[in-house]
Amino acid sequence: MTTVSLLDRAISVLRLNDAGMFTKPGPHQYPHQWNWDSALIALGLSHFDLPRAHLEIRSLLSGQWQDGMIPSVVYHSMPSDYFPPSQFWQIENSPSAPPVPTTGITQPPLLATVVRRIDSRHPNPDFVREVYPSLLRWHRWMHTARDIDDSALACIIHPWESGTDDSPRWLRLFEAIQPEALPEFRRGDTRYVAAAERPNRSEYERFIYLIDVFRKLNYAPTALLAHSPFLAQDVLFNAILFRADEDLRALGVSLGEPTGEIDGWLDRVQGNFNTRFWDEGAGLYYDYDVRSGNPIPVNTAATFLPLFAGLPSREQAQRLVEGHLLNPVEYAPSGQVRHWVTTTARTEPTWEPRRYWRGPVWVIMNWFIAEGLRRYGYDGLAETIRQDTLGLIETSGFREYYDARDGSGCGSDDFSWSAALALEMSHDSK
Ligand code: DGY
């Protein structure tokens, strides 16, 4: 298959999943609009249909809450067999809920970064002026409603907010959560994808238990910070947020907007990020469990996200890359593992090669890592990862994730962000 046909196929996947106003992340498994999926989908669409990319972003923003949160899912009243359905969240009990049905939690904030990148290729000040206030309100919400210690670092209250639902990063926090009573529910996520490639039952029960806690608190931000049994400062989320703050600032400057507030967030996060997350002994970034007051010493690919944000020093970057990413027992292909980059270090006992965020290769993580490597001058390694990722897609199709041992596909097929990032990563070589 030639590169041209790969790009044509990527466009076909985005067209296949086009629901008119928004693009489904996957045709069966994910039938509504997901936040960070949609940002990447807009980036992919911008390569061949700029008006449709703008519509994708407008549709996501239509779900913004009055307090500024952009939710993880906007349901758009589309009937589906997805669980949990919109009614399950009971967001109408919150005075901040928007008129369209959404979840009551957020997702990693990639949108400002995407808007800036699209604008750098197709300058459109009118569009930037239109979306900038919504982006600013979302970022303000993350730096205030989710700031528990005046650090400007954002807390997440649910693993779904990390985008990496069943990552081993969250297992210890889950052990401390004992659901008293669970609402009645029936999972839908194992209808189209093998159960062995989806989260385990005990984690899934906690996902649902947490939603039940939040809806009983009517999603009041102070109550959530005070009472959510799950409360973490997430390396991945905060690295993406810092990068997005930089991009939001650049958009503000292009519009002639004052940037003092954003500068304040950038200064504070820059000052607090390494103190909070860097483990000097391990040479890794660890997430932080706010409830227990302890770092979470689990080695996953989230540790490389700060490179994407330019947050590590040169020396820290060298330790991350040369000590871990290139280490053949942790991340680098070796022996039975033929592909970059497993989402969990293979030295972790919880590494599972085919289960969701427990270890498979994800296109989005490889894109973040390659971008971060280029920022630190590791161009050769970035190129190796870019080519390996495009090769995986070419061989196994636009899958949700891949088994690093043989490159076979897992999870949803016709997965939109794998298609969107194939377009973006092919563009990277031009
Ligand atoms: C799911 O349904 O698996 C999603 O990740 C939750 O947003």
pLDDT at 264 exceeding the cut of 90? yes
H helical segments located in 218-355: 221-227, 235-255, 260-277, 305-309, 314-320
* Chain CA centroid to CA 349, Å: 24
pLDDT of residue 430: 54
Confidence of residue 3 (pLDDT cuts 50, 70, 90): low
Mean pLDDT of 158-186: 96
Phi, psi of 327, deg, nearest 5: -75, 120
pLDDT of residue 429: 67
| Closest CA to ligand 1's atom 3 | 189
Active-site positions?
165, 400
Task: Out of 160, 355, 364, 417, give the residue to mutate to test ligand 1, the one with the largest number of ligand atoms within 8 Å of its CB.
Answer: 160
Q: How many CA atoms within 13 Å lie on the side-chain side of 145?
A: 22
| Closest CA to ligand 1's atom 1 | 189
Atom of ligand 1 nearest to the CA of 83: 2
237 or 77, which is more confident: 237
Span 193-235, pLDDT tens digits: 999 999 999 999 999 999 999 999 999 999 999 999 999 999 9
* Chain CA centroid to CA 403, Å: 20
Dist. CA 39–CA 59, nearest whole Å: 11
Span 331-347, pLDDT tens digits: 999 999 999 999 999 99
| Closest CA to ligand 1's atom 4 | 160
pLDDT of residue 1: 46
Atom of ligand 1 nearest to the CA of 107: 7
- In the reported structure, the alpha carbon of residue 34 is separated from the centroid of ligand 1 by a whole-number distance in angstroms of 9
Span 276-314, pLDDT tens digits: 999 999 999 999 999 999 999 999 999 999 999 999 999
**pTM for this prediction:** 0.97
Q: Is 143 exposed, middle or buried (0-12, 13-18, 19+ CB in 10 A)?
A: buried
| Closest CA to ligand 1's atom 6 | 160
Atom of ligand 1 nearest to the CA of 72: 7
Atom of ligand 1 nearest to the CA of 165: 5
203 lines ligand 1 (CB under 6 A): no
72 lines ligand 1 (CB under 6 A): yes
